[in-house]
Amino acid sequence: MTQPQPGDHWTEGASSRRTAPRPTGWKTIRAEVLARDGHQCTWIEDGERCAEEGTDADHIGAPDDHSTGNLRTLCGYHHRKRTALQANQARGPLPSRQRPAPRHPGLIETSSVTGQDSTTPSSPHQRRRPNPSRPAHPGTPDDPPPF
């Protein structure tokens, strides 16, 4: 097995279908499947087997079952087709997500600015009132000067 394997980049087409991570021995498994199927695509259409060179190992059943019994050889075209079909069957058309429009970072909410006026005390010089429960010391002024 010294010939280049063009199927090594097969993950490109399946990037949207990351259902299971590939095992460490995936290359060996794939090579086994390809050799078993004679490096020919096993896709059957209209009763005829695809004549293309098989470069990809496709999961027949569970995508996380990497046994050779669950794998078959497909050409790149049919693997992409198959992957697209699986994705459509599993998910259906993707719903268009409605994301809220991002707010402009420079915008200040006007409600907080205008609402400030009504809550602002009329007199900025609020005097501290003595605590009625604690009688102030007769000799101590309520607000000592900041010496």
List of residues contacting Zn ion (CB under 5 A): 41, 43, 50, 52, 75, 78
Structural contact between residues 19 and 63, judged by C-beta atoms closer than 8 angstroms: yes
Backbone Cα Rg of the chain: 36
Whichever of 57 and 75 has its CB closer to Zn ion, that residue is: 75
Least Å from the CB of residue 43 to Zn ion: 4
Instruction: Give the closest residue to 72 by CA, choosing from 83, 54, 62, 57.
Output: 57
Residue 110, class by beta-carbon neighbours within 10 Å (0-12 exposed, 13-18 middle, 19+ buried)?
Answer: exposed
Least Å from the CB of residue 11 to Zn ion: 18
Least Å from the CB of residue 78 to Zn ion: 3
Whichever of 25 and 38 has its CB closer to Zn ion, that residue is: 38
Least Å from the CB of residue 76 to Zn ion: 8
Q: How far is CA 1 from CA 29, 32, 35, 62, 103, in A?
A: 13, 10, 9, 28, 57
Whichever of 48 and 117 has its CB closer to Zn ion, that residue is: 48
Q: How many CB atoms lie within 10 A of CB 77?
A: 15
Whichever of 49 and 91 has its CB closer to Zn ion, that residue is: 49
Least Å from the CB of residue 58 to Zn ion: 10
Structural contact between residues 49 and 38, judged by C-beta atoms closer than 8 angstroms: no
Whichever of 66 and 72 has its CB closer to Zn ion, that residue is: 72
